[in-house]
A and B are shown apart, each in its own frame.
Chain A
């Protein structure tokens, strides 16, 4: 597992209060992990803080699974 994936999963577990083993890369934040749209806003803010990336609203809207987040961060972090 990549370092990014590890750190993303840790943030998801902390913010959504879900079991770590539920946070697979395929997991959808809303359908599988019980998040609502505001939780995703909060997660995106946490990813920005953790990785020092900026995730604009139009990009954030396309992040619906854990792997979407990992992929975006890996492609955009400095």
Chain B
């Protein structure tokens, strides 16, 4: 059976625009949250977010580093973040310059939950104010979700499978799981896989606030707003950015002497079949996804050392925790579980990929990132290590990421330290 390993990582997040900076800031307990700077929030209920910082910031993002000036002007930010994260991952894997044969065997599976909402908003205004003749000729392909995969394939000449998952907030996890399967099935030897999002624009913030999903009561204390499992949580904080990994067939990676971070051993998917935004109250869908991932991985509950929870800082945290307990045991079988959304916010379609990268780094460095702002754990958290406030060094051999999305779509991905 073909095995799939991770050989490259790329991150653009509110805590930095490269993997090591993000990880260092995350472990240090920094928060990426702050007042929204992109637009006037006077009339918005929610006035805070975790924005990717500008280039002149200590850990800001410079779009000019890997994305041509012309493309920057034509596409939405989620595509720019995705191209950059994919470039980082390829460079990290030593595959930025690959031979023509390998290009035929290398594909892309980089999705987004929503896509180019800022551009859809601004071009709608152009249409209404100036007429159809003023709508940009780049409007459509600058907003489409599959255009990260499209742009990356063009930039690097990758002619393998070109795919883009759209499953709301489980996009990133599904992208990695689907891409791993493509390698297992022999469709490709190398896949760039992940997700990106950037919807911190008036329409995006208003839409999520109206859906009663966003935190609107901590506008004066932005860094305290994302507080998964805390009694005083009140909705998620919107983040933005991208996470992309290089997945590679194990023998291929070994043959070229690649650095191998971890193996993708388990992937589970399910549907809640319950409600468009609310999770099933008993977390049945979440449980099914986790159980499927464990079964595929051939692991027992006690083998999981770290769970990067979906944990959005909403009432759904309780439901997820109950489901994890049913799968792993009341003490999670000794696993630690944290929600890094407490630090970087909810990256929506990017979340599952960014958080799977955190699982991989936890395995690399034998330390798990904290759940910030967890001062008063909610009922049901007794006896569970939710890694409150500070990072915790510990043994991490296998880690599980949960990602759940609107529409009742669930994905769980398990990564594990490589064993021959």
B positions within 8 Å CB-CB of A: 68-70, 72-73, 133-134, 136-138
In whole angstroms, how far apart are the Cα atoms of A17 and B138 in the complex?
15
In whole angstroms, how far apart are the Cα atoms of A8 and B72 in the complex?
21
Asked if A39 is an interface residue, CB under 8 A from chain B, the answer is yes
A15 touches B70 (CB 8 A): yes
A41 touches B137 (CB 8 A): yes
**15 more CB-based (< 8 A) A-B contacts, given A38-B138, A45-B134, A49-B134:** A14-B73, A15-B73, A16-B70, A17-B68, A17-B69, A17-B73, A34-B70, A38-B137, A39-B70, A41-B137, A42-B136, A42-B137, A42-B138, A45-B133, A45-B136
Residues of A within 8 A of B73 (CB): 14-15, 17
Residues of A within 8 A of B134 (CB): 45, 49
Interface string of A3-35 (1 = CB under 8 A from B): 000000000001111000000000000000010
Rounded to whole Å, the gap between the CB of A58 and the closest CB of chain B is 15
A positions within 8 Å CB-CB of B: 14-17, 34, 38-39, 41-42, 45, 49
Q: List 20 A-B contacts (CB under 8 A).
A: A14-B73, A15-B70, A15-B73, A16-B70, A17-B69, A17-B70, A17-B72, A17-B73, A34-B70, A38-B137, A38-B138, A39-B70, A41-B137, A42-B136, A42-B137, A42-B138, A45-B133, A45-B136, A45-B137, A49-B134
In whole angstroms, how far apart are the Cα atoms of A49 and B135 in the complex?
12
Q: Which of B133, B136, B137 has the most CB of A within 10 A?
A: B137
Rounded to whole Å, the gap between the CB of B140 and the closest CB of chain A is 10
In whole angstroms, how far apart are the Cα atoms of A13 and B70 in the complex?
10
Q: Which 8 A-B pairs have the closest CB atoms?
A: A17-B69, A41-B137, A38-B137, A17-B70, A42-B137, A16-B70, A17-B68, A38-B138
In whole angstroms, how far apart are the Cα atoms of A39 and B73 in the complex?
11
Residues of B within 8 A of A38 (CB): 137-138
User: Which residue of the partner chain B has the closest CB to A40?
Assistant: B137
In whole angstroms, how far apart are the Cα atoms of A15 and B138 in the complex?
12
Residues of B within 8 A of A17 (CB): 68-70, 72-73
In whole angstroms, how far apart are the Cα atoms of A30 and B220 in the complex?
52
Residues of A within 8 A of B69 (CB): 17
Residues of A within 8 A of B68 (CB): 17
Q: Which of A14, A16, A17, A34 has the most CB of B within 10 A?
A: A17
In whole angstroms, how far apart are the Cα atoms of A38 and B134 in the complex?
13
In whole angstroms, how far apart are the Cα atoms of A6 and B73 in the complex?
21
Residues of A within 8 A of B72 (CB): 17
In whole angstroms, how far apart are the Cα atoms of A17 and B63 in the complex?
14
Residues of B within 8 A of A42 (CB): 136-138
Residues of A within 8 A of B133 (CB): 45
Residues of B within 8 A of A45 (CB): 133-134, 136-137
In whole angstroms, how far apart are the Cα atoms of A15 and B133 in the complex?
18
Residues of B within 8 A of A14 (CB): 73
In whole angstroms, how far apart are the Cα atoms of A34 and B72 in the complex?
15
In whole angstroms, how far apart are the Cα atoms of A5 and B86 in the complex?
39
In whole angstroms, how far apart are the Cα atoms of A24 and B133 in the complex?
28
In whole angstroms, how far apart are the Cα atoms of A54 and B341 in the complex?
50
Residues of B within 8 A of A39 (CB): 70
Rounded to whole Å, the gap between the CB of B137 and the closest CB of chain A is 4
In whole angstroms, how far apart are the Cα atoms of A15 and B72 in the complex?
10
In whole angstroms, how far apart are the Cα atoms of A10 and B121 in the complex?
27
Rounded to whole Å, the gap between the CB of B251 and the closest CB of chain A is 40
In whole angstroms, how far apart are the Cα atoms of A15 and B69 in the complex?
8
In whole angstroms, how far apart are the Cα atoms of A39 and B138 in the complex?
8
Rounded to whole Å, the gap between the CB of B69 and the closest CB of chain A is 3
Rounded to whole Å, the gap between the CB of B67 and the closest CB of chain A is 10
In whole angstroms, how far apart are the Cα atoms of A45 and B73 in the complex?
15
User: Which residue of the partner chain A has the closest CB to B130?
Assistant: A49
Residues of B within 8 A of A16 (CB): 70
